[in-house]
Amino acid sequence: MTAASVAVIGGTGMNTWPGFEGSGALDGDNAWGSPSAPLQQGRFADTPVLFLARHGQGHHIPPHRINFRANLQALADAGVRRVIAAAAVGSMNEAVPPGALALPEDCIDYTWGRAHSYSDGPDLPLHHIGFTEPFSPLRERMLEVATAASVPIHPGGVLGVTQGPRLETAAEVRRLRRDGCDLVGMTTMPEAALARELGLDYAVVAVCVNWAAGVGSGDIHGEIERYAAEGMDRLRQLLTAVLPVLAEDDAR
């Protein structure tokens, strides 16, 4: 067990976490396998927190190969109750330019072939989880804290989750737009649904690093290089404000 009730899952560009003071690691192995990396125990903004590198320590695990079930189970086994999931995304909404953060309110799952449920065997319970609001109530709490601390963040958006690891075609992004998506990433599903199956409070912080395919100048990799650091700085600002408040909530 750990004293941390909150975990941060770090995505692309966040395999290490400046400002995080590590104090040990848990291997986190469980019935579903090994998590992407050991769970790092430590403190950020003087608050106990667990950190998990979603793509592994050396960023070697592609989105479709992540063992999402082992990752979420490891966090639940460690005593975590709330999960802040950082995810790099492309944007098709001009209100969320590269370098900006968003707290999406909903998502559409375009992934396939991923192990996406714990209800997956004759001896395992079958749960039809409610998923109308995939990121509540942690999302609302983070939004309140970000607003009070004047951390700039787009308060919503629909996140389309694609299979990857390739980026989308321009026609795929036009379809995402028609479907009502504002942002596109590769890892929020099945992560968010598995968190819900385990009863974890989960919210995604989308870190916009590029315009989606066919939306901007076309130099997606150049944009990612240019804007990733800015997005990560904003994410650090957000976590500095949010983590102490969540710890206070839990102490009540």
Burial class (CB in 10 A: 0-12, 13-18, 19+), 190: buried
Q: Return the number of the residue (134 or 160) whose C-beta is nearest ligand HPA.
A: 160
Residue 209 lies near ligand HPA (rule: CB under 6 A): yes
User: Could you tell me the smallest distance in angstroms from the CB atom of residue 227 to ligand HPA?
Assistant: 10
Q: Return the number of the residue (90 or 157) whose C-beta is nearest ligand HPA.
A: 90
Residue 115 lies near ligand HPA (rule: CB under 6 A): no
Binding-site string for ligand HPA from residue 124 to residue 163, where x marks contact by CB under 6 A and - marks none: --------------------------------------x-
Residue 98 lies near ligand HPA (rule: CB under 6 A): no
Q: Return the number of the residue (167 or 245) whose C-beta is nearest ligand HPA.
A: 167
Q: Which stretch binds ligand HPA (CB under 6 A): 19-27, 77-85, 121-129, 182-190?
A: 182-190
233: helix, strand or coil: helix
Q: Return the number of the residue (4 or 84) whose C-beta is nearest ligand HPA.
A: 84
* Residue pair 118/69 in contact by the 8 Å Cβ criterion: yes
Q: Return the number of the residue (200 or 209) whose C-beta is nearest ligand HPA.
A: 209
* Torsion angle of the four alpha carbons 135, 244, 27, 203, in this order, in degrees rounded to the nearest 10: 10
Q: What is the distance in angstroms between the CA of the first residue and the CA of the last residue of the chain?
A: 20
Q: Return the number of the residue (12 or 73) whose C-beta is nearest ligand HPA.
A: 12
* Residue pair 224/210 in contact by the 8 Å Cβ criterion: yes
Residue closest to 165 by CA, chosen among 250, 55, 240: 55
Decide the pairing of beta strands 183-185 and 106-109.
unpaired
Rounded-to-integer distance, Cα 152 and Cα 114, Å? 34
User: Which residue sits closest to ligand HPA, CB atoms considered?
Assistant: 90
User: Could you tell me the smallest distance in angstroms from the CB atom of residue 27 to ligand HPA?
Assistant: 28
Residue closest to 160 by CA, chosen among 137, 192, 129, 136: 192
Residue 186 lies near ligand HPA (rule: CB under 6 A): yes
Q: Which helix (H) or strand (E) holds 202?
A: strand 201-211
Total residues at the site for ligand HPA (CB under 6 A)? Answer: 12
Interface with ligand HPA by CB under 6 A: which residues? 88-90, 162, 167-168, 184-186, 209-210, 212
